[in-house]
Amino acid sequence: MTTILITNDDGIHSPGLAALEAAMATLGNTVIVAPDRDNSAVSHSLTINRPLKLTRHGVARYDVNGTPADCVVLGLSKVLREPPALVVSGFNLGPNLGDDIAYSGTVSAAVEGTMKGCPSIAFSTEYSTDGWDFDFSMETARRVAARVLERGLPGNTLLNVNIPKGHVNRETRITCQGRRQWEGDILEVSDPRGRIHYWIGGGSPISDRTSGSDVSALEEGFVSITPIHLDHTNHEFLRSFREQWGL
């Protein structure tokens, strides 16, 4: 029977995790190993300065007092006896587009699965003013995951899937990673003694709407699927760098 390892960065009690579990249950046996609390924007950090606790909650459901990457490491090495057919992460509560993937615990969990040789997918869904509606996200996740189970993925490659609010087009675009940074994302606050502190988060996105990017696809109401490669080398620059820089 197909085994699917599921994690996230919003924590084990997230409604997005429950929705993704329900979607994957139609494709195989699901095993959840997720953080015990919100770990948004922790990127690919591993916990090495303290021991980790793996707590079981019923059948095939565990939490870890660590990061999403910790969850994948423990899920693959201590929970499962054999490698899963698929590692999925999500549904993140909010998109992971462009520069977001450098910070995203959701995407980093899928990166960790890929590093360990497992086909891996990160799923994120956009918030609607009507609240979180996971029906279309679940439909999309089942379709993408089924295709990956059928065809596999190239080595060192994961999929980053972003699902729009409103589902205007209900269509998919295969995209490249765009650019998305944030303006006004550092809030200056004072404590009761008048000391200044800084709160990072929020603000307004500054989006690069380059045609064919994940950012532009989501803003136009399309599902965005971006293949992400683990090799960050700029191969286009590599030869001239070697030959011309004299380093």
* 8 neighbors 20 (Cβ within 8 angstroms): yes
Q: Give the tens place of pLDDT for each residue, 133-174.
A: 899 999 999 999 999 999 999 999 999 999 998 766 789 999
Looking at residues 235-244, what average pLDDT do you find? 94
If you average pLDDT over residues 58-75, what whole number do you get? 97
Q: State the pLDDT at residue 228.
A: 98
* DSSP string for residues in 70-103: HHHHHIIIII-SS--SEEEEEEEES---GGGGGT
Give backbone dihedrals phi and psi of 210, rounded to 5 degrees, phi first: -55, 130
pLDDT at 128 over 80: no
With cut-offs at 50, 70 and 90, classify the pLDDT of residue 185.
confident
Question: What domains can be seen in the chain, in order of their start residue?
Answer: 3-179+207-244 (3.40.1210.10)
pLDDT tens by residue, 8-40: 999 999 999 999 999 999 999 999 999 999 999
Report the chain's mean pLDDT, rounded to a whole number. 93
Q: Which of 7, 2, 159, 156 is nearest to 74 (CA)?
A: 7
Q: Give the dihedral sign, CA 30/88/128/102.
A: positive
Is 216 a residue whose pLDDT tops 90? yes
